[in-house]
Every structure is written in structure tokens, then in C-alpha cells.
Chains A and B, each alone.
Chain A
């Protein structure tokens, strides 16, 4: 167990300086909360200060998650347990940082930093109190990743949902409010399911600590086990809704495209929260095979995930509006991740995690790019939603007979701004479509080879999964190529897009990360393989969480 909880430095208040290291695990929650609270005391017009403060906070979070990541990566299965109120589990609430949680924190804080920077470059001012709302959303997401207590998870789900409601409605307007009405209703429904499931599980196991739940669930009478599974199933429905798994995913393509770009970008991580929780559940259960939970859940996750990927691919094929494309890409990623969890094969899971990192960052970048790209064609205002599907290849080419020398033989020199946008678009597209030379290709390769290396007898589901994963890549390619050609190649009254550096920076950060993810794939993949291996049997995790007192 990694020793951050060592409380060596207790004693008199006179010791002025407080050592924060042992409290690092709780920082991703406390810091944004405190800063958000402080910002509320400031007047609305002190935007510059708030922007700076917020950016600093997000940067600090990046740093914190990096330290945590290194701390847990230090040993084979490093786990940090933080006892809130110094009450031992299962009586009090504990935060648990392991490889998986640390990874999610890292992705969240990076995406958050980028989105926040983009937001303060303009979008933050369209409604009051944006900065606080944003930080509180981040706090909720981090909490959901960190907590080891089922009901506390519910609370953090509500925090991040409340934050997402606020941010989705940020800027108000007809489209957003309409979407919000639906988004909120669906999520209120799933929250009720969460409580019901939570209640049943408590009724049977008499505890709320996730590890303890599984421990207790190991030896239950048929009677109790049935009830336990009923609770777990209802709970999973709530998780699947959050993860955007078909047929509980229809709210996503309604809500995400209409939010303000930085908000949509930040939302990309939220579906991952649902998938994360499912992965966590399965992982904890696989530590206690007697519960039979894995066998109970896995098939549903696998089929649901596959269905989601297919549905998302359809959406991709049918969309021409970039935010909408990005939304469906989010669905595809979520589906792939959930399906991977369903295979409960550690190679597939680690591959899916690698793929998830890249596509999360790239999707975020795509949401941010969408708005800038529309500036290329100010004449053609972006329509909020797709018109009916336009014919894929509109123009007529009866004559392939065309010479290079009839007037249009000269290529066009591309202005810098446009070139930058185009380059960024291509990078994002490559990652999302899983084409070389970027991380998407590696991720999909890792997933597919993991799926297909299942020994001589392969289930049809494995083939289907491999197929749809690659097919979704093709669908993404078609959608993005169509969009890209339409945005950058189709002749039209181009204007040189003006991109402010503060807008370019976050996109640059995200895409640079995608590239780095490819260049330094080795350490990342090693880390993820270790994660997969350790999730397959998280004994240490359980031991550390439940050990009483120091």
C-alpha cells in the first residue's frame, strides 16, 4: 500500500506549515470546491481574475493527478486509501486511488484544463457564474472516480449531474432549454433507479463500502443473492444510462451538440464516468468470484456495448454537423469501452482504455474545433441540427474526362489559420477513425487483437465485436471525410478564419497529447497493461480498503 496516509505530522497547531502530501487524494475534490466557493464571493465582473484563478486550479489538478498517477504506478498494484473524517471503512467513507482512478483523474483534468481555457476565451461570459459551475462539475467527476462508497458515489453523480445541468443550460436559448428538459428528466429517472438499487444492496449486505459489499456478497443465501442481484441490476441500469449505452443513450445526441463548445468538450468525459463505474463494479466482483456477479453482468455489457457502437456508427453516417458527429463518436467510444468491460478480458480492457484516452481528447478537440471551423464559411450559418440526410456525393461527374490545363489547374495556397484548422481537423479525424499514424490505430489494434486472441474457439460475439469496432472506424472516416472535404475543400466564399491564440492553445494541447500518446505509447501501454492485469484480480485494493486502523 502506498503510504500517503501516514499521519506522522500530527500534533500542535504551532507547526505552521501543513504538509499536503497525505491529503493529495482528496485534493481533486476539495480544491475545485473551495475555489468555486471563493469565486462566488467575487463580483461577476471580475472575470479576468476568475479566469486566471480557475486556470491555475485546473493546472494544479493536472499536477495533482500526475503525482497520484506516479505514486500508484510505483508498485505493481499501488493503492492509496484516504479515510474521510478518519473513520475506517466500512463505517466511514473512503477515497481510493488506484491505477484506474488515477488515469481517469489525469484525463479529466487535462480535458478540463483545455475546455476551461477555451471557455474563458469567450464562452464563459454568456451566463453568470460559469467558472464556479465548471469547477463544481470537475469536482463531481473527480469525486465519482475517487470514492469507494456506493452512496457517496450517488452523491457525486448528483453533483456532476447538477453541474452538467447548469453548464448545458449555460447561455440558455431555445435549443438548450429544450434539450435540458429532456436531459434532466432522463437523469432524474436514472438517479431514482440508483437509489433503489443502492437501497436493495444495503438491505442485503448491510454495508455501503463497495469492497465490503462484494466481500459480504460472497456468501449469501439464494434468497439474499437474488435480491442482491436485483439491486445490482437496477443499479447497472442507472450506470448504463450515464454511460449512454443503447437503448438508454438517446438523450446524448440531443443534449451534447447544443451545449456551448467548451461544455460539450467537457461532457465527453461524463459518459466515461458511467463506463468507469461499470468497469469498477466488474473488477471488484472479479476479485470475489463467489458472487457470480461477473457472469451475471458481462453478457449484458457486451451486447449493450456492441449495440451502442452500431447505433453510434449509424449516427455518424447520418450526421454532417460536426458537433453531432462528435456526439456520436462519444457514443461509439463509450460503447467500445463498455463492450470491452463485458469481455472481462484484461488485454481487451487495457486496449480499450488506451483507445478511450485518445478518443476522449480528440472528441473534445473536435467539439472545440467545430465552432472555429464554422468561421471559415460565415455565410453558411451552422444549422443547429442536421437537415435530412443530404445525398453523399451531390455533384455529378458524368465526365471523368477533364484536363489539368483548362484554367483550374493551379492549386490554392492555404492561409495559415485555415491550414492550422485543417491540420487539427485531420489529426482529430485520424485518432477518431483509428487510422495511422495516431493512437486510434493502436487502440483499435489492441482491442481487436485482444478480442481475436481468444484461443481456438472464438464466440461469435468476439467476431462481431471485432467487426463493429473496425466498422465504426470506417463510419467515422466517412463522416469526418465528408465534413472535412465540405469544410476545407469545397469551393465557396472562404474567409480567413481568425483564431485567437487562447482558442488555438487548448486545441493544440489536446491534439499534442494525442500525438504524444502515440509517440510514447510504450510507457502508457505498459501502465495500462498493468492496470488491466490488476483489475482482473484487485486483491490489494480490497485489502487496503478494509484494513482497520493504522
Chain B
């Protein structure tokens, strides 16, 4: 890396370092912070100056640091005459602003944050102008928006700052996103994001059919940044920022970023119609509008803000004219405007600082109090108005010359000189008003403070700037000739026109126009000054309430309200519509391929195999008829006859069990059976806590109609969904036998390896504990998790108030007991179904044994860990039914949560045991052994795994039942003591 490369890198890195350092300073270390910032900016300035030789001749100096080659993103620094000029402005004015701010900001302000942000902005801005890569430029572009946001909002405790900041960020980053899109399109056309590559590809780009979109998108970005109509409105509101920020960001540098980009890409874009009309029109409108509105501002900074808008419009207009000479004028004016406008902002700041107000209506006759500042302000204002002998005059005259030169011969073009003069005249008006109303006239009466000259250091920056203003104004060629030359040459290259930087070109038409504008402006002010002096509120007359910021607010509020409406319209927070949508979408998806097939004219039902005519056992038919009937009954009864619905549901369940038996799936039948029992019991336990179903009372007529319509709709949907499922099911069952071959590969593998591989005869069980044991591991995890969740939920369970004190039945029993003599309350409940309950009680050992049996034979016969586990759990349920929750919980020695844990561990450790043999997880090992009473049985590691399943299932199922059943114990107590007492810990863990 050459020395210059190092310098250039340092230039972009230094400010960020400074920013980081400064944010680490103590909040009161104002001098240190200012010194640091000052050092950084002065160092930056000297680096810029040191780099001048590399660009003096109009050549380009580049330095690349690889970062993301695959995305075409490298940290690429590029310096040419143009960016050098901007870098000079950024660092130079930066240094002056820092000095100014040191004395401007109040002593109590936590300025390290301020200076930190200021330096960070400086870095971002330098990175922007020194970008050799368009994406990197956008990157820096957004950064400047960000720091501008934070700087405007620096005094965030006042509403204007917050809103100004918010608005600036929104507008500029909206533009930023457009810019990004445009640049991506542009890069796509050019095949690279490298600036020079893009410039080189100019002809290709102009020919491309995505040229216009790219151009428009990029222009939106630049206009929003450079406050061009219709995006201009954010700038005046950005004036809520501390004045140094306004001077630096919002007049000298950041708002010039858009202009910079337009100049940079000028060679690519300027030859197109869209550019000529779009840019020059927008520029012209902004130029006139800004100047006109500025006249009526009562806030000093307001006047300067709109004047800035107007001058940016002027520059844009020049660029839009698309002639080399106009470009020269534009670049020149960028330089001049930056100097005099920054000076003016600082002056305004001093006035504010000294008098405590910025309201021109309050201010008057300040010249006596602050003559020096006054003089400086007057000179700077002269430049703003374009008075001879100051720099503003020269570029303004170039501008008028350009407007006079005939270009396209369109209507706009002919009107241009007149409009330009008019705009300049407006400029004269507000400039004169600025000076006259503030500095002359009678001494101001109601000022918050007594004005004095500020400390010399605070005035120094303005003095320097005004010095430049004059120097350039008097000896332009000598002072800025070379800088301007290199800048322009770097853009135009050989197309650089011959231009003369001189004070006197003779009594040219342009000069005449200038004088005309001065005269007209002066007279206009003389005529209207009364009116202006006490104009009620800022904003021109007959513009009325129409303000861009109102439009902006309305737009944004509209956007948000619209979004909310859209959310309500396109979304829902209720369950039923979602279930309906899910059903419909699934239905559509499932039938889509059929539809596509039909669309190809192959007919809807091609995928449906022929109806087989194999004999149908009547019994099977009966099973399904009953199953279906029960299902429909359930649907019918579910609302008002819950208990009956449960029974019918169980009926369907039994039909399933029988089907499983029929379809040679004994394991399924067994499992389904035990699960059926458990589920039913759970639901029964739950029933008790549901509110009594109330028939929906449709109040009005059309509510009834709507309800009926809803049911009808759901009915149809359900019917169609059912038909769809049936269709798919049938299609799935009747695939042509050709496919069977494929199945056999898997089936044969399982059947053949079942015994050799795992020592099991029951292939399904082998599948579960060996071939696909991993599924089972997941499955029991689900069960365990659910168990834990249920437990956690029910600990906090609050029974509904109306159910406290037991069910109606319990109450009636209690009544009876109290009434009849010699009976304890609860005796009836105890005696209820005594025999049956004793029987259930005795079932426990039997069921337990059966469970063990199921478990042991699982590997060879239908059965297995899960079925066994649930059976075991059923044994416990029966005890609950027989003896009631209290009795069981007192004797229960199962610690469900631990059982769950042990089950999981046992299963997973068995699986991991294979690791000891260097085998993958769940690799099984088996041996046949003679076990007394049970005979020759396989002792397989898979069996240990199955044991884990068993343990977990017992734990989880019992846990659910305990937790649910326990509520009946709690409810009555709860009625006594309000706070729900948690399930006794010993049920959960001793």
C-alpha cells in the first residue's frame, strides 16, 4: 500500500476513531471533546491537501481493499478532482464548525456525544465522496442519513427535534432504498458496481431498456437527499438541530450528497431526455419555490433553510441543462454556496446565542450592538443575493449565462431566463429582508437577552469563511481556478469547455439580468416590507394550510391506518377462520394436481384405480357403517349432550379397533384399545369442569340467519373435505400392482431381518424398538413433554367459580347426609356403587400382571412397552375411580415426573450403549435366554429400550390422570381458601 493509499485510508478511518474515542469521554469533558474533534478535522484537512497532487491533473486515484469479492463488494476508495473538492469542503468547514460549536454549545451540554456524532458523520461523508463502488456509496449515504437523524435529534427532549429527526430519516432513507434499488439495476446493466466501470459502460447503459428505471430510482434518491421538490420539506424541519449541525450538514455537506452523485453520474445520464426534462424541471421548481417561501419566513434559520433549498434547486437545474458549461457553473456554485451559507448559519447562530431569539420580527437594529458580526453577515448575505465582488455573484452570473444559451428550444427553455431572473429577484428580496430587518431600523425592544459581540474564537470561523467569499469573489481565477479545473476535468475529461473565471466579462446580457434581479428585488422589498415586517406566520400568503409536512404526516398516518385496516382485512386473531382457511387451503392443495391433470384433458379421476370386486365381508361393512354413524352422532351431540357424545366417540374408536384387527394389525388394535380407554377416562374427568352448555340465543332475526348460514357453510366444507380425504384414501389403496415391487424391497428387508437382525418375531414391534427405534424415542419424548406441561398447567388451575363446592350430584348427596341422622357428610358418596368399586379395587394386581405379560411378549407377539405402560396406567385409573383421589394420592408411591425422567434416560442410554461397541446410536444386541416360568425369551438391548418406553408411559399417563383427578380434591377446598393450592409436591417429587 503506497503512502498516498495509506493517507486516503487514514482520511476515511480517522473520524470514526475520533468518534469512538470521544464517546468514551466523560460527559462534561467539553474542551477535550472539542479538541479531539478539532484535531481530527484539521488532520483530515491536511490529509486532503496532501493528496491534491494525485488528482490535480484530473486523474483518478484508487485504492482497493478486498472485502466481499463474491458479492462484488470491496472497500474501494476513489479520489478524483470532484471528490477531492468535496473532501476539502467536508474537512475544512468541519474544522470551522467544530471550533464554532465549542463556544456555541452550552456548558451543561454533554458535548462528547455531540462531537462524537459530528465526527462519525464526517467519516461517513468522506467515505461517501471517496467511494469507488456504488454500493459502498449507498452504504455511506445511509450512514449519513443515520447520523443526521441522531444529530437533529440531539436535543431529543423537545418535540420539534424528535419530529424533525424522524421526518429527515424517513424521507432520506426512503430515497436511500430507491437509490439502492436503482444502483443495483445500474450495476446489473454495467456488470459491475465499480464507479469507473459504470462510467466506462455509459453507452451500453444508455442503450439498455432498464436505463430509465435505474435513472428514475437514482434520481428519487438524490432529490430526497438534496431536498429537491417534492422532497424538500424535511430540510426546514431539520433546523431543530443545533445550529452548528445546520451549518455543517444541512447547508454545506450532507445536502450536497445528492448533487455530488448527480455530478458523478452526469456523464452516464445527462444525454437522455428524461434527465434533461426531469432534472431541470425539478431544479427549476425547487429554485423558485424555495426562494419564494424563504421571503416569508420569520425564523432566521427558516429563511436560510429555504434559501438553501432554492440554491440546491439552482444547482440541480444547472445539472439538468446537461451542458458542460452548466456543469462547471454547478460545481462552482456548490463551492460558493457552501462557504457563504455556512457563514450565514453561524452568524444566525450568534444572533440567536446573543439575543435569545431568531424571530426576525422581534429583531431590529442589531448593527449597533454587534457591528463585526453584522458586517460579516452582510457580506455573506451579499453573496447569497449575488452582488458583485463576492463569490455568489460569479456562479450566479454563470448560471444566468447558461439559462440564456439556447439548448433544446422548448417552451421551458425559452422561458428559462425570465424564470431564472425571477428566482434571483426572490433571492434578493429575502436577503435584503434578512439584513434590513435584523441589523437596521430602531433598536429592538423586547429581546430576551442584551446582545454583545461573541468571544472572538466563536467569530473566527465566520471571518475565515467571509474571507474566502471575498477572495473568490474578487480574484476567482487565482483562488479557486485550479481546484475547480481539476474537479470539472475529472468529470468532463476532454469535453471540458473553455470558461473564464473573471469578475468582469463586459456588460453581458447575464450581467444585465443580474442587475435587473437586484433592482427588482430591492424595489419589491421596499414595497412589501411593511407587510413582511408583521406577516402573521411563516409560509407565503395564499399557500394557506397547504404545507408539505402536513401532506407527509397525512400520508404516513394514512399508511399506518391503511396497514392496520389491511391487517384486519387480510388477517384474523380468531381460531375458527384459521381452521377454515387451513381446511380450504389443504383441500385446494390436495386436489390441485387432479385439477392440473384435468386441465391437460386427462380426466379428473385418472389417479383412481378401478373398483375391485373382491368379496366384502358384511361384518366389515357393518363395522364401518357403525363407525361412520357414531362419528356423525358425535358431531351432532357434541354441543348439548357431551356425555353421550363421548360414548359415541368411543363407539367410533371401537370400530377403528375392529378395523385394525381385520386389517391384520393386532398391535394397533391392542394399543388403540388401551388408548381409547385412557382417553375416555381423561375426557370424563375433564367434563366436570366445563360450563353447562347454553343454547345459543340468537337475538335478532338476521343473527339467526347468519348462524344458520355459518353452519351450512361449515357443513359443506366438512362434506367436501371428507369427500377429498375419501378420494385420496381410495386412490392410495388402489394403486396399480406394478408399484408393489418397490414395497417389497422394504417389506422383505424388514421381514427377513426381523429375526436374524433383532431376534424378534413381531415385526411391528421390532420396527418400533429397532428398525425405527429413533421414531419411538421421539414419540416418548412427546409424551413426556406433554406430561410435564399438563402438570405445570394444572398446578395453577383455578376451577370456575360456579363449580366450587362440587357438582350438583355431590351437593345433593351432601344434603341427604346432613338430613338423614347418623350419617357423616360424604357417606353416600362412599357407599355409591360399592360393589363395583371393590371389584375395580381388586383389579389392580390383575392388570399389573397383564401389563407385565404384555411387555414380556412384546418382542414376539402383539404387545410391547407402550401398550403395557398404558395398561399399567389404567390400573391406577381404576384405583382413582374406586377410592377417589385422596385415598390413592395418600398411598401412591409412583413419582410420575421421575418415572418420565428415568424412562427417557433408560431409553436414550440403552441406545447410546452401542457407542461402547463403536456402533451408531440404537444399534441393538440380543441373546436368547431361558428364564424360569417364562421360558425361552429373547433378551435384547431393544427390550431394555422398550422398558424405558414402558416406564415413561406409566409415568406420563399417571401424571396426567393424577393432575386431572386431583382437581376434584382441590375444588371444594378452593371454595374455602381462595388461592388455588398446588398439587402436593410428593405426587411430583418427594
Contact = CB atoms under 8 A, between A and B. Distances in A.
Contacts of B732: 199-200, 203-204, 227
Question: Size band of the A side of the interface?
Answer: 35 or more
A254 B789 CA distance: 20
Contacts of B573: 250, 253-254
A400 B187 CA distance: 41
Contact of A247 (B356, B556, B581, B917): B581
Nearest first, the 9 closest Cβ-Cβ pairs linking A and B are: A40-B901, A37-B904, A317-B563, A10-B918, A233-B589, A155-B778, A166-B789, A489-B156, A229-B593
9 contacts: A158-B778, A196-B590, A216-B742, A225-B593, A226-B606, A403-B357, A414-B113, A478-B559, A521-B67
B660 interface: no
A170 interface: yes
A426 B908 CA distance: 44
A172 interface: yes
A549 interface: no
Nearest to B796: A172
Given A392-B553, A400-B237, A525-B70, A86 B728 contact: no
Interface in A356-407: 388-389, 391-393, 395, 397-398, 400-406
Given A317-B560, A448-B184, 9 more contacts: A11-B918, A23-B921, A34-B912, A40-B897, A85-B771, A85-B923, A86-B923, A128-B791, A475-B563
Nearest to A173: B796
Nearest to B66: A522
A470 B898 contact: no
Interface stretch (B89-97, B161-169, B465-473, B855-863): B161-169
A39 B901 contact: yes
B272 to A, nearest CB: 19
Contacts of A236: 589
Interface string A26-64: 100010011011111101100000000000000000000
Interface residues of B, number: 163
A204 B557 contact: no
Interface string A250-280: 1101100000000000000000000000000
B520 interface: no
Contact of A477 (B173, B578, B749): B173
Contacts of B154: 411
Interface stretch (B138-146, B843-851, B875-883, B969-977): B138-146
Given A155-B779, A481-B166, A37 B908 contact: yes
Contacts of A403: 352, 356-359
Contacts of B181: 448, 452, 466-467, 470
B781 A136 contact: yes
B792 A170 contact: yes
Nearest to B750: A91
B67 A522 contact: yes
B109 A85 contact: no
B132 interface: no
B774 interface: yes
B449 to A, nearest CB: 8
B340 interface: no
B773 A522 contact: no
Interface string A62-76: 000000000000000
A547 to B, nearest CB: 15
Nearest to B107: A410
Nearest to B758: A85
B563 A318 contact: yes
B725 A401 contact: no
Given A37-B905, A41-B902, A400-B299, A159 B785 contact: yes
Contact of B142 (A38, A85, A436): A436
B728 A196 contact: yes
Interface string B545-574: 000010001001101110110110011111
Given A86-B923, A247-B581, A491-B157, A401 B575 contact: no
A442 B185 CA distance: 16
A478 B562 CA distance: 14
A446 B187 CA distance: 13
A172 B795 CA distance: 10
A84 B922 contact: yes
A550 B573 CA distance: 53
A3 B745 CA distance: 28
A83 to B, nearest CB: 5
Contacts of B793: 169, 172, 177
B579 A18 contact: no
Interface in A74-121: 82-87, 90-93
Contacts of A127: 792, 795-796
B114 A223 contact: no
B786 interface: yes
B792 A172 contact: yes
Interface string A479-495: 00110010011110000
Contact of B921 (A85, A129, A200, A203): A85
Interface string A203-231: 11111000000001000011111110110
A332 B750 CA distance: 45
A248 B173 contact: no
Given A7-B919, A162-B786, A489-B157, A91 B593 contact: no
Interface stretch (A181-189, A334-342, A497-505, A537-545): A181-189
B109 A410 contact: yes
A127 to B, nearest CB: 5
B249 interface: no
Interface stretch (A283-291, A308-316, A507-515): A308-316
A43 B791 contact: no
B904 A40 contact: yes
Given A311-B571, A441-B139, A466-B181, A522 B68 contact: yes
A390 to B, nearest CB: 9
B651 interface: no
B538 A400 contact: yes
Contact of B139 (A34, A237, A414, A436): A436
Nearest to A14: B916
Contacts of B753: 91
A162 B782 contact: yes
Given A85-B773, A241-B582, A526-B70, A133 B788 contact: yes
B478 to A, nearest CB: 39
B900 interface: yes
Nearest to B354: A405
Contacts of A406: 356, 448
Contacts of A166: 785-786, 788-789, 792
A225 B563 CA distance: 42
Contact of A26 (B593, B901, B920): B920
B957 to A, nearest CB: 15
A156 B166 contact: no
Nearest to A396: B159
B49 interface: no
B389 to A, nearest CB: 33
Contacts of B750: 91
A193 interface: yes
A460 interface: no
A400 B160 contact: yes
A172 B113 CA distance: 44
B533 to A, nearest CB: 16
Contacts of A521: 67-68
Given A389-B560, A400-B538, A402-B160, A38 B905 contact: yes
A452 B184 contact: yes
A354 to B, nearest CB: 9
Given A227-B607, A318-B567, A521-B68, A18 B915 contact: yes
A411 B155 contact: yes
Contact of B571 (A250, A436, A482): A250
Contacts of B173: 435, 474, 477
Contacts of A435: 142, 146, 173
A534 interface: no
A257 B163 CA distance: 28
